Amino acid sequence: MLIDATTLADLAIFQTLDGSAGVFALVDRTRTRAGRAALRRRFEAPSSGVDSIRGTQEAVRWLMARPTLPSFEDEAIEAVARYLDSNIEVSRRTGFAARVEAVWTRIRYREVRRELREGVDATAAVMARAATFSDAVGAQAPPPVVRQLVDALLGARGVARSALSSGGGLLEVDRALRGESADVLREALAALAELDALRSLAETTADLGWVFPDIIDDDAFHLEASGVFHPFVERPVKNPVRLTGGEPTVFLTGPNMAGKTTYLRAVALVVLLAQVGMGVPADAARLTPVEALFTSLNPTDNLRAGLSYFLAEVMRVKAAASLLAEGKRALVLFDEVFKGTNVKDALEASAEVILGFARARRSGFVFSSHLAELAEVLATDPSIRFCYFDGEIFRGAPHYGYALKEGVSDKRFGLLLLRRAQIPELMERIGPRAGPGRIP
């Protein structure tokens, strides 16, 4: 699945806008640096294949049921990786020449010999641990994804055992491990990293009580979920999402701070985590995998590139439209698109884009906006549903229910929030107004 840096930032996957830890840190339960890197790759490029996602789900479920399987020490894995990548030249000599070289190395290059000995011992220890793990897993009929990773460990264990028990000297063993068997050993380390990443997905799904979504193999776009929430929200109000059948587009309205942007992030997160292969923060979910996840929640200007805020929005729309024009199945989420221009242009441009995107029936779209006036124009397309988040004024203060409802909201709390921040009073202190236009 294509997911660009802007979308990862919009969804606070690796860090939030204030630099705090993002969603990845919530999921990361890995024990090794290699496992953490493998997990990060899964978030940067989730699968879009139905069989691949289902296979990962099966592996994660299997590991959830076996939390006590043996684990691996990070330092041990790193020691083997450093050894395999060492710049010490691998010996190519055999027979009498090899024996002479071994004696010379023992006398003249003690530090080299010590480094090689530590690397060989580290490899032996990790392979012994891999043998214990493989035996424990193999006896429990693992699913194909886990079985494939275990097979890589078994292959490495075999070549390592052969080298270590050959009776040869240190340089001969080193030649077998770092020369003839290096690729097999690296594949084993990669397998251990993937197993660590999968266990992290399993632990997070179990600890947080998230649910596995049903993955649908269908040409039509489906995204249906109940009880969707964002894991960073304390005491969240859970909401549904439905982008399916003949209505793959939602036009979302509501006043400021009613929950529109948080909802968009929660919906996107369901799709992202589903295609990573783990559980999702919802009560239930089903979806067809997308080939691209695309958001525009927080566009910024770029003075160095000569882009105004509005032009940055235009370029973001163009990038999304290009994906759709290429025929890619995508989930596209836009928050307050074209707020960088005047209201008239925003109305016309928004209608053009929303009606255009709605033609891509193999994809799903959610557009949030304060421009309730768009509803009349958009109502001409039966594929567009209208939803809103409500808010009420009670004793001069805004109150929100954060529950998604069907329909359109034209409520605006901008002036109220301005007054609550005592902006009008500050304006009076600056000086008297020269003409009409006082905020009531």
The two three-digit tokens of residue 31, written as one number: 């024990």
- Averaged pLDDT of the chain: 86
Residue 39: is its pLDDT beyond 90?
A: yes
Q: Residue 309: which pLDDT band, with cuts at 50, 70 and 90?
A: confident
DSSP string, 218-241: -SS-EEEEEEE--TTSSSPPPEEE
pLDDT in tens, 231-251: 999 999 999 999 986 788 999
- The CA–CA distances, whole Å, from 159 to 170, 180, 190, 419 equal 16, 9, 16, 74
Encoding tokens for residue 404? 């998604």
Give the global pTM: 0.88
Q: Edge-to-edge strand order for the sheet containing 214-215?
A: 214-215, 284-287, 222-228, 239-244
Strands 284-287 and 222-228 turn out to be antiparallel
8 A C-beta contact, residue 72 and residue 33? no
Give the mean model confidence (pLDDT) for residues 252-264. Answer: 89
Residue corresponding to tokens 């909401």 = 239
Give the C-alpha separation, 294 to 406, whole Å. Answer: 24
pLDDT band at 340 (very low <50, low <70, confident <90, very high): confident
* Dist CA 170 CA 155 (whole Å): 22
The residue behind tokens 């925003």 is: 346
Q: CB–CB of 276/201 below 8 Å? A: yes
Cross-strand bridge partners of residue 406: 387
The encoded tokens of residue 364 equal 């799903």
C-alpha–C-alpha distance, residues 376 and 368, integer Å: 15
pLDDT of residue 396: 66
The H or E element that residue 384 is part of is strand 384-394
Q: Among 60-64, 85-89, 211-215, 227-231, name the one with the lowest average pLDDT.
A: 85-89
The structural domains of the chain, ordered by start, are 31-208 (1.10.1420), 214-430 (3.40.50.300)
The residue whose two tokens read 């996107």 is: 268
- Contact residues for 327 (Cβ-Cβ < 8 A; gap 6+): 362
- 99 pLDDT exceeds 60? no
Asked if residue 90 has pLDDT above 70, the reply is no
Q: What is the pLDDT of residue 70?
A: 85
The per-residue pLDDT for 222 is 93
Give the containing element (helix H, strand E) for 393: strand 384-394
Backbone angles phi, psi at 100, to 5 degrees: -60, -45
pLDDT in tens, 48-70: 999 999 999 999 999 999 998 88
Average pLDDT score over residue span 350-375? 90
